[in-house]
Structure 1
Amino acid sequence: MLLWTTAFLASLVAAQAYPPDVVDQLAAASLTKVKEWLAKNPQGNCTLETAVRRKEWMDLTLAQRKEYTNAVLCLMSKPALTSSAAPGAKSRFDDYIVVHVQQTPRNHGSTFFLPWHRYYVWHYEQALRNECGYKGYQPYWNWDRYHKDPANSPLFDGSEGSMGGNGAKANYNGIMIPGAPRPYDRIPPADGGGCVTTGPFKNMTVNLGPIAPILQLTRNPRADGLGYNPRCLRRDINKNSAAVTSAKDVYDVITKNNDAHWFQTVMEGQFPQGKWGIHAGGHYTVGGDPGGDFYTSPGDPAFWLHHTMIDRVWWIWQIQNLEKRLKEVSHTRTMSNFPPSANGTLDDLSGLGVLAPDVEVRELMSTMGGLMGKFCYIYE
């Protein structure tokens, strides 16, 4: 009874601190559409009642948040599977960075961006559960809750229930956005940039990269960034970046883009027009090293909460018209169509290198019955 009461009180506190925003309200109202679709398209044992419910970080109790960060630390303590290809990989956590580095040119600005990251986050969640005894599921980061002052939010305040604190103050020139016009070609620095010294990841070692750093760092001994280059975790928790991740920004991405091409394009950012997009905004809210490195960004544990939110936004967009949007992909098979390639299709294959086999993109489109029935989750 005491445990139930503690959890219930914690949920009440979270609800009072963070009342549902317009995106939360849209998601809740749209669950009837999921129920109607499932009635017409049953997915075996996957129902709304049996589906995993991924939750926002602060909707977890303190104990649940600590269980999650302990599981991440556990993954960092287990030996890597990719060390033969990547000598710098020292842990199972590093394995996921290696895969991201190897596949970045294929899985960004392309057909594979959303489905591949869905597979990627789900597989990481399974590793936490199956290899490190984590009982919960992958939480997400609702950017709007903290976007006005992310450095002092419970997500990044450095407390035991956070995802670690900001970095120490350091001098650097901010984040350059290639191809963007002035003044949108540079995100001004905030109050961090140095080593993280508080919270669960204060003693974390970053092993891989950098490849595309935003800070002055020792170069990796290998050109591909996969050599051993140990250093501290650095962050610059930046409200300038977070400013483009409000609930209104997210709601507009979902409701004003009626096809997959524009939904993904606006989400990823339109840099020549000076529009960073919610994807870049979330990444550069963390910034630093490796979080601000396009290739090695999964090396900051906050990456996983950010990309789970990206998946949530896609999920909410999909469930507005499931019959159409579960079958709709866009873009070509290469990043920003370089080099030029054909448009991607549901028949294309997408995988996680040595971590997980290739599957057809169609298997990654639905959170309810996708991946041959292994996907069965929704978002609360």
Structure 2
Amino acid sequence: MLFQNIFLISLLSFASSSPTPQKPGTWQPILDEEPSYVNPSDCTNPPLRKEWRQLTIPERKDYTRAVVCLYNMKPTRLANLIGVDTEYSTFTANHKTQTPWVHFTGLFLPWHRLFIREYERSLQDLCGYKGVQPYWDYTIDSGPGKNITEAPVFDPQHGFGGNGKYDKALNDRIPKSVGTFWGGGCLKDGPFKNFRFKLARDKFWRLDDRCLSRNIWEAYTVYTEQRLEDIILIQPNFENMTVYLEGPGFEGSQPLPGGWVTTIHAGGHFVFSGHPFDVITGSDPWTSVLDPLFWMHHTNLDRIWWEWQQQNEKNLWGVGLRMDSRVGPVWGPEFKYVDEDMTWDSPVDLTAEFGGKRNQVKIANLLSTAGKTAPNGAKSVLCYNYSKSPKPARL
């Protein structure tokens, strides 16, 4: 509860001290492809998304090379949004424009599933990436006797780089009760250490100039342990599964049974990004996409949802929750919601400006990742599966 309250205070105080957000503007659609509906007969051997340590060293290097390629590429979309200066930053801009509608609503998992697929496709089509999107199962690196900083994803040569440079003044701001920190500044090694961004934090559209920062939060690995994944996988319906994965919310939210407020979604973000929330790149819910580890984390969340879906047909096609927010006006009173339940026919839209019609689909099109047609006749737009995580065998 302490960690969650600190985050909320930081989020609200930062928002209240910032100027009124600017309207993003009107964009011109650039991609008019229709959704790529999949025939089940064409997806009999889906590509396998693997855990990072299951990739060979050349495969890991090819992935990070492709990410750097997107960063070095001029934007092909959303280029007139303030702060968008690379193709890589277009994904953060898109996430930023939709944050209130795709967090703490029923859209959280389906929207991010489509978002990850568009990122994967861009790595492949624009930068020649030969593989598929990997995931990081941080439960392997969390728990008693483990040191999260030794996880292969933090390797400077064939990973994502490790911590930021030590910033004493910044770390002195952090309450000692939440842990000890050894970073806080710009990334000091790895393929992304020279990344700089012009996109401003939070919901506001103004030019910024900041580096990719990290302040690895080792104490927060209590929220990335296997027990958190286990309780997600035993939930009886989509509603419970999503809330145990994403969390009940921020302000005024009731703890889940067992007293849980923080869940594996927040845990994954804050382990690799850390404190203070108003400074570190990956700790800002609006622009956390700027840290390439965002994709590894959210692909792992998609894997957990996928694991839950594989248990039975009810789970595979299960939907629920609502299109409006369960956290009230925490994002700001200017954001309005659709007041209805989420169903198979609810739209999932990355916007025409970002991905054209290929990224304007419905919930039912995203439930099967292996090309299965939904009970209502809706075809899938996805064709992939997940590897079995290399976590230790359990009794």
Would you say 1:160 and 2:183 are equivalent positions? Answer: no
State TM-score, norm by structure 1: 0.77
State TM-score, norm by structure 2: 0.75
Residues 162, 188 of structure 2: 8 Å contact kept: yes
Q: Please state how far the C-alpha of 1:236 moved relative to its aligned partner.
A: 1.1
Q: Which residue of 2 aligns with 1:100?
A: 95
Would you say 1:58 and 2:57 are equivalent positions? Answer: no
Identify the match of residue 166 of structure 2 among 165, 169, 193: 169
Any residues of structure 2 matched to 1:19-38 within 5 Å, and which? none
Identify the match of residue 117 of structure 2 among 86, 97, 122: 122
Secondary structure of the 1:350 match is: strand
Residues 151, 238 of structure 1: 8 Å contact kept: no
Superposed CA RMSD? 2.2
Secondary structure of the 1:44 match is: helix
Q: Which residue of 2 aligns with 1:25?
A: none
Identify the match of residue 261 of structure 1 among 231, 239, 255: 239
Residues 174 and 133 of structure 1, relative CA distance in 2, 3 Å threshold:
farther
Q: Give unmatched runs, 5+ long, in structure 2.
A: 1-38, 275-279, 329-335, 373-377, 388-395
Residues 267, 278 of structure 1: 8 Å contact kept: yes
Q: Which residue of 2 aligns with 1:239?
A: 218
Q: Which residue of 2 aligns with 1:329?
A: 319
Q: Which has the higher contact order (CA 8 A, sep 6+)?
A: 2
Identify the match of residue 292 of structure 2 among 297, 301, 306: 301
* C-alpha distance in 1 between matches for 2:240 and 2:327: 15
Q: Which residue of 1 aligns with 2:270?
A: 284
Would you say 1:311 and 2:299 are equivalent positions? Answer: no
Q: Please state how far the C-alpha of 1:373 moved relative to its aligned partner.
A: 4.6
Instruction: Judge which range, 267-276 or 244-253, deviates more.
Output: 267-276
Q: Please state how far the C-alpha of 1:207 moved relative to its aligned partner.
A: 2.3
Q: Please state how far the C-alpha of 1:85 moved relative to its aligned partner.
A: 4.1
Residues 254, 316 of structure 1: 8 Å contact kept: yes
* C-alpha distance in 2 between matches for 1:301 and 1:59: 18
Identify the match of residue 378 of structure 1 among 371, 380, 385: 385
Would you say 1:143 and 2:138 are equivalent positions? Answer: yes
* C-alpha distance in 2 between matches for 1:137 and 1:122: 9
* Partner AA of 2:345 in structure 1: D
Q: Please state how far the C-alpha of 1:196 moved relative to its aligned partner.
A: 0.5
Residues 86, 227 of structure 1: 8 Å contact kept: no
Residue identity over aligned pairs, in percent, reads 35
* C-alpha distance in 1 between matches for 2:118 and 2:379: 14
Residues 351 and 104 of structure 1, relative CA distance in 2, 3 Å threshold:
same
Question: Number of matched residues?
Answer: 314
* Partner AA of 2:267 in structure 1: G
Secondary structure of the 1:230 match is: strand
Q: Give unmatched runs, 5+ long, in structure 1.
A: 1-41, 177-182, 212-223
Q: Which residue of 2 aligns with 1:206?
A: 197
Identify the match of residue 190 of structure 1 among 172, 181, 197: 181
Identify the match of residue 351 of structure 1 among 343, 349, 353: 349
For residues 19-60 of structure 1, what are the alpha-carbon distances to aligned partners after superposition, in whole Å with 9 as ceiling and x for unaligned?
Answer: xxxxxxxxxxxxxxxxxxxxxxx812112xx11000001111
Q: Which residue of 2 aligns with 1:29?
A: none
* C-alpha distance in 1 between matches for 2:96 and 2:178: 24
